[in-house]
Structure 1
Amino acid sequence: MSHYQTAARDRVPLGQKAAYGTGTFVLNLLPSSLAIFAFFLITGFGVDPVLAGLLTGLPRIFDALTDPIMGFITDNTKSRWGRRRPYIVIGAILSGCFFALLWQLNPDWSQDYTFWYFLLFSLAFTIGNTMYATPFVGLGYEITSDYNERTRLMAFSQFMGQIAWMIVPWFWVLIADPDLFSTQAEGVQTLSLYVAGGCILAGLIPGLFCKGIDSEKIENRAEISFRTIWQNLKGVVANIIQTFQNAAFVKLCAATFLVFNGFQLVSSFSYFIIVFHMFDGDYGAAGTWPAWFATMSAVMTALFVIPIVNWMSGKWGKRNAFIISTILSIFGYGLKWFGFNPENPWLVFMPIPLMSFGIGGLFTLMLSMTADVCDLDELKNGMPRKEGTFGAIYWLMVKLGMALAMILGGVVLKFVGFDAGLATQTADTMTKLRIADIVIPASTAFFAILVMRSYDLTEQTAHDIKAELVKRRGDI
């Protein structure tokens, strides 16, 4: 049980939690929609599979460069509106506009024209999304300085973020419905406009209504200008080095890389197992079962898992809550063997309550722990505080891992003998695929537990660090 009561001034009002949660909804909706729409580059717009792979991979490399730079910029910004909020507002508008333009492709365009159009707008979207996401994540780390209130804030925001995952799986169904859209291309073009509009409106809310640290009290900030670009680039590198010298932060990154990307690597396998194992390759019979599986996972995470994880964190601490959640997810992965049952399709939902503890516990706790790490960094390295940089590096690890997971996912499918061109798959192939679907995420989750066993930033330690920081520079 927590030894410290959250002071009234450290509590985040419900309205601000909801405002920040609205931003988390956008943070989830844009990349998840992008991943689904990218599938239709081949089937809806006739892009060559090799070019489609380049179009999804190249922007990720560019993203890896922009995230740390944006983190440095937002950490050192001087503005009457704070270090984060101006970028969040501008980034929300740019992200939505470029996302909409990105998907106004025409199937009649040439391959070359389509390639360059999509690539250039992908890079523009990446810049806009980085301007939004990096300051937004940094803002979340600084909204409150209380150890437990940080978890409550992240739990609330992750709850709202799960709404995106309840919606997005149905895009597959909507785009392919001939009663709604005459072609897949039309479906993507139209839905992208709705996604973009919703993201602009929702994305503005945290920039307008959330409050972070009083930036006037942030010292030692670098000057951000064209004249100081070289010095700023050296500052970016120095900040990156400092983040990786923080042992607690490295453990958070490593555990996240293992849990999330083990899950991500097999994320498409459930769709194939439902279609080819449970319904013997009959897409019509499989119908909306894959969409319901994904939606119910998000519903269970939001309504069941996140509140329990939040409670466990307050009772036993963040590290122990993570370890318990991850162990429960391993049991959930094991239940998939019995849940994907051709004789009783309803059993497909059986593993979801335990399995959802993996991702639900991961981001609720890891984001809260990263905020604690930012205090530790200020204690060791002084100001300026680097929430933006830590957030950028953390999510950079996630994004790079996702790219690796996409590559390895295809390798695993090939290894087990899966052939998407066949109407049915062999029993041996499906058995191997089902084993991989369980063993891979369960194994990476187990190794994440080993990593986090030595994580030692406890509530008492966080409280002591906070007291020392307030003694040094006052309460900000």
Structure 2
Amino acid sequence: MHLNKNMSHYDTAAKDRIPLGEKAAYGTGTLVLNLLPAALGIFAFFLITAFGVDPILAGLLGGLPRLFDAITDPIMGFITDNTKSRWGRRRPYIVVGAILSGTCFALLWQLDPANSQNYTFWYILLFSMAFTIGNTMFATPFVGLGYEMTSDYKERTRLMATSQFMGQIAWMIVPWFWVMIADPDLFDSQAQGVRHLAIYVSGACIVLGIVPGLFCKGIDSSHIDNRAEISFRTLSSNVMGIFRSIGQAFKNAAFVRLCGATFFVFNGFQLVASFSYFIIVFHMFDGDYGATGSWPAWFSTVSAFVTAFLVIPIVSWMANKWGKRKAFIISTVLSIFGYALKWYGFNPENPWLMFMPIPLMSFGIGGLFTLMLSMTADVCDLDELNNGMPRKEGTFAAIYWLMVKLGQALALILSGVVLKLVGFDAGVATQSVETMTNLRIADIIIPASTAALAILMMWNYDITEEKAHQIKEKLIERRGDI
């Protein structure tokens, strides 16, 4: 079947529009999706400084749950795609997963520095595994639900723009956890700060996390056929079904492009994410933590604020005006210019200039998830056209976010390698001029290069607005409007 690739424009039908309140309800889930890992990353730092865990063991505690994640994500995707319930395929898991992940997150950090290192290691590892199960149970169906809340090309972008806007609230708040935990006026010790903040984060995530499960509507699952039976009796056939679904996803060239582009942009961004902190401290303030104060926290908060209020609305407008592929390419090019401006922005003579690159630089991540999640929803339609029922939003969500997590894990490893290569020595108060120059160059070249690779990856992405509507019409003709 040949599908015309020429761009055309369609008005969103009333039945395909999502009410603003429902978009906001979905956005609360995205806030949780960002808040939990962001807080987890900060709290993990204090395993070493507050609870005395050996750095090597701390690294294992960060890595082993990610490997477990790689197993649980596709399994959960298959389960949610094939679930039959009166409440739909996604919503029960979202509610239960929010409660389980939030509860396990709070328990995970109720540690005592007086405990033995062996006890702390196994305590953290076991609760990390339990948290991973709960988080997977929440995140995979939640992302899959977003893919199916509307079948309209443009409304999908509007939904993801709203959800990513709300998700940025997490990145406005979390950088201040560093300041709060270290503040003796708030907490008697870092350990106490971690324990208390973990409870607050947990409560917020439970309350906000169940909202999309209660108020967001997905596809009428009674019209989904060819679903596999999920039971112990069918375990072997279910395992084969998981591998078959994964294979079909990776045969989808458009989806592979989305995964590849996401891996490049996010990996490059994450790889240098900590470098800004080091550059602010050691280049701009010559290793004086007192003079540095809250500048790094403000840098992160302003970045999130600009992403939410400036970048995401512009990206959404560009996508619905010129198409999602063009919007992604434009956004990524702008981010490359933003990375280059960091050379002039991180100026010891004028700290305020550090905010100069943010408006352009923020188009990288702000455009990435707003557009990629919207485009993955379009890909799910193409998969149904090619492979039939059941629709596999959960499987695509699992694989897509697995790419994000693998990129994040690789970035954490490579960032340490880069710091070593440039000669950074955390044990000295003042770094050499050569070290800081090399670090600043890496801070620009790495994300700019990976962004350029992402543009190449997306150059021939071919699901236009016209093609998306033709796919939609074919599906409605085949099985009706669901």
* Structure 2 residue aligned with 1:205: 211
Q: Among residues 138, 141, 144, which one is paired with 2:147 in the alignment?
A: 141
| From 232, 246, 257, the counterpart of 2:263 | 257
Give the drift of 1:22.
Answer: 0.4
Task: Please give the alpha-carbon distance, in whole angstroms, between the structure 2 residues aligned to 1:398 and 1:313.
Answer: 22
Alignment of 1:174 onto 2:155: no
Verify the 8 A CA contact 2:8 2:466 in the aligned structure 1: no
Aligned pair 1:32/2:35, yes or no? no
Contact 1:2 1:315 in 2 (8 A): no
Letter in 1 for 2:209: G
- 1:226 Cα offset (Å): 1.2
**Contact in 2 for aligned 1:82/1:214 (Cα 8 Å):** yes
Shift of 1:3: 1.1
Cα deviations by residue, 1:412-454 (Å, 9 ceiling, x for unpaired) = 0000000111101000000000000000000000010011001
| CA distance in structure 1 between the aligned counterparts of 2:437 and 2:31, rounded to whole angstroms | 36
Decide whether the 8 Å contact of 1:46 with 1:107 is kept in 2.
yes
Residue 279 of structure 2 aligns to which amino acid in structure 1?
Answer: I
Structure 1 counterpart of 2:421, one-letter code:
F
Residues 78 and 215 of structure 1 are in contact (CA less than 8 Å); yes or no, is this contact kept in structure 2? yes
**Aligned counterpart, 1:234:** 240
Instruction: Give the aligned partner of residue 243 of structure 1.
Output: 249
2:284 pairs with 256, 278, 282, which one?
278
1:394 aligns to 2:389 (yes or no): no
Alignment-derived partner of residue 121 in structure 2: 115
The secondary structure found in structure 1 opposite 2:230 is coil
Pick from 392, 396, 414: which aligns with 1:408?
A: 414
Q: Structure 1: give runs of 5+ residues left out of the alignment.
A: none
Whether the 8 Å contact between 1:2 and 1:317 is mirrored in structure 2 is: no
Give the whole-Å Cα distance in 2 for the aligned partners of 1:173 and 1:3: 48
Question: Which residue among 44, 59, 62 is the counterpart of 2:65?
Answer: 59
Partner amino acid, structure 2, of 1:17: K
Alignment of 1:269-348 (within 5 A): 269-348=275-354
- Cα distance in 2 between the residues matched to 1:380 and 1:106: 54
- The two structures have a TM-score, normalised by structure 1, of 1.00
Q: Which amino acid aligns with 1:121?
A: F
Deviation by residue 1:35-67 (Cα, 9 ceiling, x = unmatched) = 000000000000000100000100000000000
| C-alpha deviation, 1:370, in angstroms | 0.1
1:302: how far off? 0.1
1:445 and 2:442 matched: no
Q: CA deviation at 1:229?
A: 1.1
Q: Which amino acid aligns with 2:291?
A: A
Q: Tell me, in whole angstroms, the C-alpha distance in 2 between the residues paired with 1:407 and 1:300.
A: 29
Residues 23 and 203 of structure 1 are in contact (CA less than 8 Å); yes or no, is this contact kept in structure 2? yes
Displacement after TM superposition at 1:228 (Å): 0.9
- Report the secondary structure of 1:454's partner residue: coil
Aligned equivalents of 1:106 and 1:59: distance in 2? 22
The answer (yes or no) to whether the contact 1:331–1:355 under 8 Å persists in 2 is yes
* Alignment partner of 1:366 out of 357, 367, 372: 372
Segment of structure 1 superposing worse, 213-222 or 224-233? 224-233
State the shift of 1:353 in Å: 0.1
Contact 2:81 2:392 in 1 (8 A): yes
Q: Secondary structure at the match of 2:213?
A: helix
Q: Which residue of 2 aligns with 1:454?
A: 460
Q: Using the alignment, how far apart are the partners of 1:70 and 1:192 within structure 2?
A: 26
The one-letter amino acid of 2:199's match is: L
Q: How many residues were matched structurally? A: 476
Aligned to 1:470: 476
SS at match of 2:234: helix
Q: Residue 406 of structure 1: SS of its match in structure 2? A: helix
Match of 1:375 in 2: 381
* Aligned match of 1:429: 435
1:90 aligned partner: 96
Task: Please report the TM-score for the alignment, with normalisation by the length of structure 2.
Answer: 0.98
Equivalent in the alignment of 1:190: 196
> Are 1:45 and 1:105, in contact at CA under 8 Å, matched by a contact in 2?
yes
How far off its partner does 1:272 sit? 0.1
Find the aligned partners of 1:35 and 1:405 in 2 and give their Cα distance. Answer: 13
Contact 1:85 1:207 in 2 (8 A): yes
- The answer (yes or no) to whether the contact 1:248–1:455 under 8 Å persists in 2 is yes
Structure 1 residue 2, shift from structure 2 partner: 5.6
What per-residue deviation string (whole Å, max 9, x for no partner) do you get for residues 239-265 of structure 1? 111100000000000000000110000
The CA distance in 1 between the partners of 2:168 and 2:393, in whole Å, is 23
Q: 1:215 aligns with which of 217, 221, 230?
A: 221
Q: Match of 1:222, SS?
A: coil
1:125-164 superposed matches below 5 A: 125-164=131-170
Distance 1:97 1:37 in 2: 16
Check whether the contact 2:43–2:194 (CA below 8 A) recurs between aligned residues: yes
For 2:284, the aligned partner's letter is M
Tell me the secondary structure at the aligned position of residue 77 of structure 1.
coil
Give the fraction of aligned pairs with identical amino acids, expressed as a percent.
Answer: 79
> Secondary structure at the residue paired with 2:428?
coil
Amino acid at match of 2:126: L
Q: 1:351 pairs with 341, 357, 378, which one? A: 357
Rounded to whole Å, the distance in 1 between the matches of 2:147 and 2:180 is: 37
Aligned to 2:3: none
Alignment RMSD (CA, Å): 0.6
